[in-house]
């Protein structure tokens, strides 16, 4: 006979209830839920070592001590940077807000525990000439994978897509609206939010070429899938596969440090440089808050200062 399964304590039950809420009510993605589960398992283990086995017994000092352990590390975990610790603390704060709302305890001891502030790093974008070099290096000719690679990268830049959104697309998510022959793509972003983004001429041509001349060839190797982007076996292209496509194109173009998010950042920065309203860019990127989008305005402000300093005759200090 094997050992009996341990009986979950009140702390486990509270964590499970919160995770169920995130999955069902909030519609969080599987990867996000897995990260929350890991963060809360570490938190619960620390509480138990301190003799806390149910949420009503947890104090603000317990949560502050947990944050300190996150930053300092221990025998099993390396120290976390400010951004990673803030993300882990976010799971803890969410658990206690949920517990207070559900009546598991009367107050929220995590409400006054502030997350560490990470230094703000401006998104990295690349000039249009480098984007064009990257896209040209993605693939040429009629090879099915070359046509797929060009269509994928054109879409990442032309629609500001996250790589997970691009590989998650089905064929039916790319469509032509009857009015004015406008083509759009429907993305499902973070939290299950859907947004519709216009597809520009270059991306549309690349997608049309891929759908007509390449996807049927790739699909013949599989068992049938609605996925837009396929791998060589006829299945859905993975995130790792998409990264490989970009990495290979960047190497051929002689570019270093380029990621799928680099193309997304470049999409936003180039729109703002071209005069787009920040609210429009917010909608195109699928940001829940315009505050997230406004970081790109700092990028363009830096660019404006550089141009002014280089071009205006009275910008430089006298010698």
Residue-range domain boundaries for the chain: 10-101, 128-255
- Based on the residue annotation, tell me whether 296 is a catalytic residue of this protein: yes
- Based on the residue annotation, tell me whether 308 is a catalytic residue of this protein: no
- Based on the residue annotation, tell me whether 71 is a catalytic residue of this protein: no
Residue of 42, 150, 264, 270 with catalytic role: 264
pLDDT of residue 283: 86
Residue of 21, 105, 261, 303 with catalytic role: 261
Mean pLDDT by 10 residues, the chain (319 residues): 52 92 86 92 93 91 94 89 90 94 91 81 83 90 92 94 92 75 81 83 93 95 93 95 95 92 90 86 82 73 68 63
CA dist 116 and 122 (Å) reads 18
pLDDT of residue 26: 84
Residue of 188, 190, 252, 303 with catalytic role: 190
pLDDT of residue 193: 79
pLDDT of residue 175: 83
pLDDT of residue 4: 42
pLDDT of residue 5: 43
Q: How many residues are present in the chain? A: 319
- Based on the residue annotation, tell me whether 261 is a catalytic residue of this protein: yes
Which ranges of the chain does DSSP label H, i.e. alpha helix? 10-24, 30-49, 60-72, 82-101, 128-138, 144-158, 163-167, 201-213, 215-219, 239-253, 260-273, 278-285, 290-293, 295-311
User: pLDDT tens, 295-318?
Assistant: 777 667 666 676 667 776 766 655
CA dist 314 and 61 (Å) reads 56
Using alpha carbons, list the distances in angstroms from residue 77 to 72, 87, 227: 9, 15, 38
CA dist 292 and 123 (Å) reads 11
Residue 89, classed as helix, strand or coil, is helix
CATH 1.10.150 matches 10-101: yes
In whole numbers, what is the pLDDT of the chain averaged over residues?
86
Residue of 162, 195, 204, 265 with catalytic role: 162
pLDDT of residue 318: 56
- Based on the residue annotation, tell me whether 183 is a catalytic residue of this protein: no
Q: Write the DSSP symbol of residue 23.
A: H
- Based on the residue annotation, tell me whether 37 is a catalytic residue of this protein: no
pLDDT of residue 135: 94
Q: Do domains 10-101 and 128-255 have the same CATH topology?
A: no
pLDDT of residue 166: 94
For domain 128-255, give its CATH number from 1.10.443.10, 3.40.50.1980, 1.10.287.3510, 1.10.357.10. 1.10.443.10
């Amino acid at each position: 006979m094997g050992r009996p399964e341990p009986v979950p304590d009140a702390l486990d039950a509270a964590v499970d209830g919160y995770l169920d809420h995130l999955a069902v009510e909030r519609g969080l993605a599987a990867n996000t839920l897995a990260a929350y589960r890991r963060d809360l398992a570490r938190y619960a283990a620390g509480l138990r070592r301190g003799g806390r086995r149910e949420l009503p017994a947890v104090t603000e000092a317990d949560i502050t001590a947990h944050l300190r352990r996150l930053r300092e590390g221990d025998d099993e975990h390396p120290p976390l940077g400010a951004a990673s610790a803030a993300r882990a603390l976010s799971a803890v704060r969410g658990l206690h807000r949920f517990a207070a709302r559900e009546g598991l305890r009367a107050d929220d001891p995590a409400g006054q525990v502030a997350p560490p502030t990470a230094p703000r790093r401006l998104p990295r974008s690349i000039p249009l000439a480098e984007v064009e070099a990257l896209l040209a290096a993605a693939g040429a000719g009629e090879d099915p994978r070359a046509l797929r690679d060009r269509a994928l990268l054109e879409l990442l830049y032309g629609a500001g897509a996250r790589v997970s959104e691009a590989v998650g697309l089905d064929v039916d998510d790319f469509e032509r609206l009857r009015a004015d022959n406008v083509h759009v793509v429907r993305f499902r972003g973070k939290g299950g939010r859907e947004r519709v983004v216009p597809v520009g001429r270059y991306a549309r041509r690349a997608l049309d070429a891929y759908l007509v001349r390449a996807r049927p060839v790739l699909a013949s190797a599989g068992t049938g899938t609605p996925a837009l982007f396929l791998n060589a076996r006829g299945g859905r292209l993975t995130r790792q596969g998409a990264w490989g496509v970009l990495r290979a194109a960047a190497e051929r173009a002689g570019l270093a440090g380029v990621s799928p998010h680099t193309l997304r950042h470049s999409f936003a920065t180039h729109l703002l440089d071209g005069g787009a309203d920040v609210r429009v860019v917010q909608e195109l990127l699928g940001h829940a808050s315009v505050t997230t989008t406004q970081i790109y305005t700092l990028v363009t402000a830096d660019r404006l200062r550089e141009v002014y300093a280089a071009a205006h005759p009275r910008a430089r200090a006298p010698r």
